[in-house]
Amino acid sequence: MTKVEVPSRWPMYIGGIAFESEKCSPVIDPGTGQVVATVPAASREDVMKALEVAEEGAEIAVNMSSHQRMQILRRAAETLAGDAEAFAALIATEGSKTIREARKEVGRCVDTLRLSAEEARRQGGEVLPFDQAPGSENRVGYWNRTPLGIISAITPFNDPLNLVAHKVGPALATGNAIIVKPSGQTPLSALKLAEILYEAGLPGPILSVITGEARDVGGPLVQDPRVRMVSFTGGLKTGEHIAHQAGLKKLSMELGSNSPVIVLADADLDQAAYACVSGAFWAAGQNCLGVQRIFIQESVYVEMKQRIVELTSRIRIGPKLDEATDMGPLISEAEARRVAHWVEEARQHGATVLIGGTRHGAYYSPTVLEGVPAGETVLEEEIFGPVASLIPVPDLDFAIREANHVNYGLQAGVFTRNIPQAFQAIKRLRVGGVMINDSSDYRIDAMPFGGVKGSGLGREGVRFAAEEMTEPKLVCFNL
């Protein structure tokens, strides 16, 4: 089993300077319930200080050359790659992921930083032929992309390192200053990432990391007019609240999902079952792309169900730092109780628990349901836990209608060998991404990532986030 030593007290960073606070917040290992560290509980005054510093940081950032930004991001990526095991252990200690899941997140974060470095060289524009309009024959010009200024980023617990990098990397690549408010449950990875960026040469005022409770510091980060963009990953209700509070500024929001997977009769059932089980129970189901509703064509429903239940039975639950563990706890016992309540509610209304359905503290067993009545919470809302529901369907048309029924649309998976049916699903599924012969859980960090309906606004993925964090500026010369 991996061993890790975590400092008991961490500072937050305002403009690259370590700040302590009289009031602290605990960071609790959800697997043991023990406090592993404390971080400052920032006040409104701390946020206002960070905003003042960020004004200076925005001026520094916009005047940095592309190659300077690239060098900083590359150095940070190399440092992270060289210290990958320590970062993985930190992720697994403060959050829900197993050590093997955490290692994959670190690897993805290295890629995110490298992609961000490359994006710094691509912030160009185009020459615009003004002489296309009569009377403008003597005019020449162009447009390019310029940074917004100050960005605030609010990140969740489930990917405490890479989701921070998905906001910080593009912001730095495009010449912005950024203030990060990481999840109060998993702030340590964000703080450690800030440290390696400072060590890589990032001027302190460009990046601040504020810790504490969102209710104490979220207001200014959302409402202050100096903030020109709020980049938020989290729940739908919080996203709606931010949208009402933000005022006239850019918003980028990834608000979760209730992801469908459609398995048609001609699919490779072994491939589909493996992908569905992996997608449903990765990180204890606390994944915005997690497989939640599995629509299976009736002629192969029994076969597919057997495969899914068998694979689910092999998942090993245990301590996160144990190399043999496949799935750890949820982020808190309260979340595990909520998931258990949703499942029990469905069971009382007629659903059958095929496997799982038990809770021990913050651990909830991988659970597969069938016969869930329409309208149940486990079918309508994002469960964000290790629960998937099997639903027999007569054909693709029916499956698409049911998949589109909910107020989410992040990604979907479709398993079929039939190309025309695949393209029919691509056209009709109301989601931000369709994975053919993969589960909804597939993602690389270079691709556009985001959804429709209640799943959010805008797109992440390094190139696409960089575009969101800039705006076109037109230049015209009258010769």
Q: Which residues are catalytic?
A: 254, 288
- Strand-by-strand arrangement of the 291-297 sheet: 352-355, 367-370, 387-393, 291-297, 259-263, 411-415, 433-436
Among 179, 151, 199, CA closest to 469: 151
Residue 405 CA from chain centroid, whole number: 23
Cα–Cα dist 266/424, whole Å: 15
Among 284, 309, 286, CA closest to 296: 309
Residue 432 structure tokens = 């931000």
Q: Give the 3-state secondary structure of residue 67.
A: helix
DSSP conformational letter for 204: G
Per-residue 3-state assignment (H helix, E strand, C coil) for 394-415: CCHHHHHHHHCCCCEECEEEEE
Taking CA 290 as the corner, what is the angle to CA 287 and CA 293, rounded to the nearest 5 degrees? Answer: 145
Length of the chain: 479
Cα–Cα dist 401/387, whole Å: 22
Residue 86 structure tokens = 């320590």
Pairing of strands 359-360, 363-364: antiparallel
